[in-house]
Amino acid sequence: MLTLTYEYKLKPTKQQIEDIENILIVCRKVWNYALRERKDWVNSRKCKINSCSLEYEYIIKADESFPTYHVQAKRLTEAKKTNPELKSVNAQVLQQVLRTLDRAWDDMKSRNFGFPRFKKHFRMKSFVFPQLKGEIIKANLVKLPQLGWVKFHQSRPIPDGFAVKQARVVRRASGYFVMLSLQIDVDIHEISFHGHPIGVDIGLESFLATSEGTLIARPKFFKSLQRKLELLQRRLRNKKLGSNNRKKLNIKIARLHQKISDTRKDFHFKTAHKICNQGDSIFVEDIDFRTWAKGMLGKHTLDAGFGQFFTILSYMSWKRGKFFGKVNKDGTSQTCPNCDAHTGKKALDIRIHSCPECGYTTNRDVAASQVIRNRGINEALRSWGFPK
């Protein structure tokens, strides 16, 4: 089964905008209420057996079970009978909110993610229609439950053979968007190592360097607009809470953030295409970027968006029939790609690799990318049963 997601910009009417905003408000209330139930249950179990707090204590029955998704979904169905606000929203949309909360709760425990947060106004930005029936796409219209036929900018056609399974409506600073999940029942074969291999080394001096000698400068997406963002946020500090001027200024700030994000993502896609044009098998370092973000250069690392770039590069490699692999990151700048000798640590200001053993000299980042390429080739050969 192959699943793709295509994103389009919506052009809703005023009534449809009101309906979308109402759905987001109700979804936010359901999320907050369900999260409050879970937190209260957990806090009620923290009381000591032999004593209680002098200030307050949660009063929940000892035999009360934990409010799982199924328990909260059943309570939601009962609440819809007496609450007209809940009746105004598609039942499956609210169930998806509870599913998302349940998944976030499980990730908190199993993947050490942060505690799920309560949603303030405008923090709930999307909702999902998990099932779509009948005719979905017609000319420049998309049919969504409860909203009806909505105009949208069909920037690219739906591929032949794909069926639209679900839709997510997203509110952003620049408008409303719909993300259509497309599925087709086909067998996807894993792409194996083949053809011309290249290695990719990333950094802050240059965004990346390839084993072919290509150096791509690092654009400073956030840095270039940081001053403008600081001025807008300084003005926001003096605006009255809830005023129209504060809302207008918040929209300007959100649009600026979206401009930074869109520019970064566009650069990543274009760069990924350039890399795919150079070779058939692409190797990168296996790096945990969370540790990079905590360092002295954390802001610049986050601005570059290396994690997003690797995700996009992996997707573009698969889409274009290229092999994508990750190798061990340790010592790539301390090894000579020509003779495999250990050259020792280099200070950050040393940008030239010069091997004392064989005399091989090249750019430091290019040498590291060549080491990455060699490691990728060796791992691929070992997986086939060949000796190193």
For residue 109, give every residue at least 6 positions away whose Cβ sits within 8 Å of its Cβ, in sequence order, or none. none
| Of 49-58, 259-268, 292-301, highest mean pLDDT | 259-268
State the burial class of residue 333 (Cβ atoms within 10 Å of its Cβ: 0-12, 13-18, 19+).
Answer: buried
State the pLDDT at residue 158. 87
Q: Return the sign of the alpha-carbon dihedral for residues 93, 12, 254, 223.
A: positive
Question: Can you read off the two tokens belonging to residue 127?
Answer: 């909702």
Name the 3-class secondary structure at 204: coil
Q: What is the mean pLDDT of residues 83-103?
A: 92
State the pLDDT at residue 98. 95
Share of the chain above pLDDT 70, in %: 96
Q: What is the mean pLDDT of residues 301-328?
A: 90
pTM of the predicted protein model: 0.84
Place 49 in a pLDDT band, splitting at 50, 70 and 90.
low
Domains parsed from the chain with CATH numbers:
2-46+59-184 (no CATH), 197-383 (3.30.420)
Q: What is the mean pLDDT of residues 142-147?
A: 90
State the pLDDT at residue 204. 85
Residue 386 pLDDT > 70, yes or no?
A: no
Residue 265 pLDDT > 90, yes or no?
A: yes
Q: What is the mean pLDDT of residues 278-283?
A: 90
Residue 344 pLDDT > 90, yes or no?
A: no
385: number of Cβ within 10 Å: 6
Q: How far apart are CA 378 and CA 381, in angstroms?
A: 5
Beta bridge partners of residue 163, listed in sequence order: 183
Q: What is the mean pLDDT of residues 48-66?
A: 72
Place 55 in a pLDDT band, splitting at 50, 70 and 90.
low
State the pLDDT at residue 329. 86
Question: Which range is least confidently modeled, 61-65, 165-169, 326-330?
Answer: 61-65
Residue 93 phi/psi, 5-degree rounding, is -65, -45
Residue 325 pLDDT > 60, yes or no?
A: yes
Place 54 in a pLDDT band, splitting at 50, 70 and 90.
low
State the pLDDT at residue 51. 67
More confident residue, 140 or 359: 140
Place 1 in a pLDDT band, splitting at 50, 70 and 90.
confident
pLDDT in tens, 208-254: 999 888 899 888 888 888 899 999 999 988 888 888 998 899 889 99
Q: What is the mean pLDDT of residues 299-319?
A: 90
Residue 367 pLDDT > 60, yes or no?
A: yes
Q: How far apart are CA 276 and CA 258, in angstroms?
A: 27
DSSP letters along 19-75, please? HHHHHHHHHHHHHHHHHHHHHHHHHHT-S-SS---SS------TTPPP--HHHHHHH
Q: What is the mean pLDDT of residues 307-328?
A: 91
Place 379 in a pLDDT band, splitting at 50, 70 and 90.
confident
State the pLDDT at residue 342. 79
* Average pLDDT in the chain: 87
State the pLDDT at residue 69. 93
Q: What is the mean pLDDT of residues 355-373?
A: 85
More confident residue, 349 or 260: 260
Residue 183 pLDDT > 90, yes or no?
A: no
Q: What is the mean pLDDT of residues 186-195?
A: 84
State the pLDDT at residue 275. 92
Residue 388 pLDDT > 60, yes or no?
A: no
